[in-house]
Amino acid sequence: MRTIDDVERDSNWYYIAGSDCQTKVNRGPTSLICPKCGNVKATGAAKYRTELSVYDNDDKTSFVLLGDAGPELTGTQARI
């Protein structure tokens, strides 16, 4: 059995992703730029980024949940 020990609250809980490929976009001088697909006028949307600490009887590890995993677990969309 595994148990969620903690939800990391000191890190960013969301990231801005491009609507085309769901990759984190960078802020350019006048627009958002997607480093994966090269879109220089990307449309951004807030996506979950959640860090969880999980343990069982023997070990402890951390997981980072990105994108659709947050709404699937919480039933709530990321909004900023």
CATH number for the domain that contains residue 26: 2.40.50.140
Structural domain range at position 69 = 3-74
Question: 18: which 2 tokens?
Answer: 């491009």
Give the total number of structural domains in the chain: 1
- Residue 13 has a pLDDT of 78
Task: Answer yes or no: is 46 within a domain.
Answer: yes
CA 41 to chain centre: 21
- Residue 2 has a pLDDT of 67
**Amino acid at site 65:** L
Task: Answer yes or no: is 79 within a domain.
Answer: no
Task: Answer yes or no: is 80 within a domain.
Answer: no
Q: H or E segment at 14? A: strand 14-18
Instruction: Quote the CA–CA distance of 23 and 43 in Å, as a whole number.
Output: 11
- Residue 71: what are its φ and ψ, rounded to 5°? -60, -35
Instruction: Provide block-wise average pLDDT over 10 residues at a time, the chain (80 residues).
Output: 67 82 90 91 86 84 80 68
